Amino acid sequence: MSDRDSRLRAIESAVGIIPNFPVKGILFRDFFGVFMNPVLTQYLLDELYYVATSEAARKCKDTVEMQKDAINSGDNVLLLDDVLATGGSLEACVNLVNLSGAKVLFSLLYMELKNLPGRKKLEDLGVPVYSLFQV
């Protein structure tokens, strides 16, 4: 096993699982353990060459908003997010981008929960998915 593989496994092992949160039947992945450990945080940062993110404003549950002039018809858009689980948030972002007449080229994620349907949901919308880690 390479040093990089060992580091990735250490990061993965620090991700906690909280059953039935936030609702019954969900296995919530808690990434806080990675960020509480300075060595693991550095391992994670070593994997990132450039990070540029923009967080969509959420005024209430299940609502994603953006400014009308944030993107224009014909623009190419890259979606960045921390975690891909069910894909609901990114699906909403794809819908907003499509409404503007722009096109989502692909999505980039730090971590992807591979046992949940997020990847399939995005790929069904024609959005390629790239994730740094899959747990």
CA dist 86 and 119 (Å) reads 8
Under CATH, which number does the domain 52-135 receive?
3.40.50.2020
The more confidently predicted of residues 61 and 43 is 43
Q: What does the domain layout of the chain look like in residue ranges? A: 1-47, 52-135
Q: What is the rounded distance in angstroms from the CA atom of residue 86 to the CA atom of residue 121? A: 8
Least confidently predicted of 25-29, 68-72, 97-101: 68-72
Residue 10 in this model has a pLDDT that exceeds 90: yes
Of 35, 50, 44, which Cα lies nearest the Cα of 7? 44
Higher-pLDDT residue of 102 and 44 is 102
Kindly report, residue by residue over 32-45, the tens digit of the pLDDT. Answer: 888 889 999 888 87
85 with 120: CB under 8 angstroms? no
